[in-house]
Amino acid sequence: MKLFSGLANEGRLKVVLLGVFVLSAVIAAWLIYLFTAKQSFLAAEGDARSLRYSVIPAHRGLITDRNGEPLAVSTPMSTIWVNPQELVQDRARWPELASALGMPLDSLSKTIDDRASRLYYELKKGLPPEVGMQVAALGIAGVYHKDEYKRFYPAGDVAAHLIGFTDTNDKGQEGIELAYDQWLTGEEGRRQVIKDRRGHIIREGGVVRNAREGKSLALSIDLRLQYLAYRELRKGIDNFKAKAGTLVMVDVQTGEILAMVNYPTYNPNNRQTMHPEFMRNRAMVDVFEPGSTIKPISMAAALNTGRWNLNSTVDARPGQMKVGRFTIKDVSRPGVFTLAQVLQKSSNVGMSKIAFDIGAEPIYNMLQQVGIGQDTGLGFPGEQTGYLPARRTWPQAETATLSYGYGFSVTAVQLAHAYAAIGNQGKAVPLSLLRLDRSVNEVQVMKPEVAEQVLSMLQSVVETPGAGGARAKVQGYFVGGKSGTAKKTSSSGGYTQASYRSLFVGVAPLSNPRIATAIVIDEPTEGGYYGGLVAAPVYSGVMSGALRLLNITPDNIPAEMLQTAGVNTVKGGR
């Protein structure tokens, strides 16, 4: 029995030894296989557990005005982030961290304790880069920093509606920042780093991809004019206790928008003060009936037909006219008017009779050609095209209202664009929010002599005593323009009884037109509401400064001043 037992034990030992040998051989063969056939796979798996990529932040493109003045810049900033699971194990150094970040210790302690189970939390953003590096240099376990960029707007609330702003991820949210986000956005770079299983960086590798900065953008606006326009617009709003206002300046020869301001506004550098109602760009988003400011366009249509000329007259007596169930009324004293006097006295009756003679189609076509109710092509987020109704047949009532600015809607930008065509010898050019370094395509929308005649009429509106534009005069320059007063529509239908928009649109200087300007004052509540009373003085103030800032030679110097200075020149104007 002992003999058989010994033989059995010896056999089992041999089996075990054989099993160990076979298993060892299999393991050795598998290792040889892995290190030969699967070497690249193993390397990749090892890298996947230790090799990481850190982001190299990209610089968003600079936005400037036409003269290179910064409107939106990206400032380097540092963000301190923590791994709470690590940081809770080093409480002794929390006072040191709180002091470096300028945070109360109890606030820091609560923040970390509430997030003790998390691996990532951004503790403080927007720090100067040197502060971030100093905090990281403390060597506190679980405390890290990363470089970022923060958008800053030097012009603040003066250009807020045009420039817009970005979100916390540096993506455009409003205005130019949104419209040109793809152009302005850079491409982040990548750097290799090796980390241990706890996420600590052991060694930094090379740069895999360099960061690519966003492209810069030069806008058409002149920041000097922007500040001037903002100041004068706000002054006008304050003087008449108005609800809001808009001002737009356009270069008549290039179509570049030189200034665009709205009030109320907001500060894009302080997001806590933002109010949704104040954030929309009224110049391109708000639509309204233009009232009498459209009469010069209707007059151009009449002159363009050849049926009317500067010597034509129209009988506007007795100052009102029944058209169907509507009554058209004039505010000024009735009479037999020349075409210039129709604009000077802003006669609805006179303008309606002219429209009845030529029909609605020429007026409608002219409005379309100068950009009323049409897409401006600016591509601004939320921009409205307004509304210009198209009819197969035009009843008399609609023909009349079309001629003096009711029954359709426009934006302030469209009004400035329309007057720019008059100032540019009847040639319309596309609008632009970008600085142009090339010639633009022009379309002749009215005869040059017609544009000249309309400018002459607009000059008489400003220079004739008692006319609606008398308060728009600019010392030293001949200017022309037209005021307008439009009732606001009611949410319940029809028009309100005591809410108005006061408007003035003008061109200057008339000897060589350079700037078309549209001003809209919304709901003045004290001191009056007529456009010639409320908006015309704003035009005078802003153009007095703008023409001098642009070094445009005065064309209306009194003769006695010229003689005193020993200058022999011909007086300009029309």
Q: Is the peptide bond before 537 cis (omega within 30 degrees of 0)?
A: no
Q: Are 475 and 265 in contact (CB under 8 A)?
A: no
Among the listed residues 367, 325, 326, 370, the one whose alpha carbon sits nearest the alpha carbon of residue 349: 326
* CA 431 distance to own-chain centroid: 14
* CB atoms inside a 10 Å sphere around CB 481: 31
Strands 495-508 and 427-428: unpaired
Distances in Å between the alpha carbon of 184 and those of 159, 179, 395? 18, 10, 50
Residue spans of alpha helices (H) in 436-554? 448-463, 531-534, 536-549
Give the CA diameter of the chain: 148
* Residue 374: closest CA among 426, 420, 431, 299: 431
Surface-to-core class of residue 147, CB atoms within 10 Å of its CB (0-12 exposed, 13-18 middle, 19+ buried): middle
Is residue 281 a contact partner of residue 380, using CB atoms and an 8 Å limit? Answer: yes
Q: Which two tokens stand for residue 239?
A: 């003087």
Structure tokens at 341: 């006097």
**Do the strands 217-218 and 63-64 form a parallel or antiparallel pair, or are they unpaired?**
parallel
From the candidates 74, 78, 220, 292, give the one annotated as an active-site residue.
292
Q: How far apart are CA 533 and CA 537, in angstroms?
A: 7
Query: What six digits make up the tokens of 554?
Result: 């005065």
DSSP 8-state secondary structure symbol assigned to residue 276 = G
Asked if 456 is an active-site residue, the reply is no
For the chain, count helices (H), then strands (E): 21, 19
Strand-pair category, 313-315 with 336-338 = antiparallel
Tokens representing 10? 């010896």
CB 506 within 8 Å of CB 481: yes
300 burial level (CB within 10 Å; 0-12, 13-18, 19+):
buried
Secondary structure of residue 417 in the 3-state scheme: helix
Which residues lie closer than 8 Å to 380 by C-beta, 6 or more apart?
175, 176, 179, 281, 284, 433
Strand partners of residue 124? 80
The region that residue 371 occupies, defined by phi over 0 for left and psi between -120 and 50 for alpha, beta otherwise, is left
CB 396 within 8 A of CB 324: yes
Active-site residue set? 292
